[in-house]
């Protein structure tokens, strides 16, 4: 396996790992808001938004390196 293929695998793992964070931040932001911790919920929403930006940037990196096919392949985790 060459370095480009290794990099592809690592970045794809980062994308998958990031999904877990996105879900958890959203879940806990909601939890905070319904438990009258609105400020904490808003901050967790902000963290979720920043994490979403990280996801976009990682996917752009994959595209830039021409390591994947069309964008829908990235969505499928191919």
Rounded Cα–Cα distance for residues 44 and 36 (Å)? 14
Give me the pLDDT at residue 78, please: 46
Structure confidence by residue, pLDDT tens digits, 11-63: 999 999 999 999 999 999 999 999 999 999 999 999 999 999 999 999 999 88
Helix segments in the chain, DSSP class H: 3-34, 38-64, 71-76
Asked if residue 32 lies in contact with residue 46, where contact means CB atoms within 8 angstroms, the answer is no
Rounded Cα–Cα distance for residues 36 and 59 (Å)? 35
Do you know the residue count of the chain? 78
| Cα-trace Rg, the chain | 16
Query: Is residue 66 pLDDT above 70, yes or no?
Result: no
């Amino acid at each position: 396996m060459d370095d480009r293929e290794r990099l592809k695998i690592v970045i794809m793992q980062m994308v998958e790992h990031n999904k877990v964070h996105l879900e958890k931040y959203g879940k806990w932001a909601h939890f905070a808001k319904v438990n009258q911790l609105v400020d904490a919920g808003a901050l967790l929403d902000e963290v979720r938004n920043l994490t979403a930006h990280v996801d976009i940037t990682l996917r752009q990196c994959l595209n830039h390196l021409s390591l994947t096919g069309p964008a829908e392949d990235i969505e499928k985790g191919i």
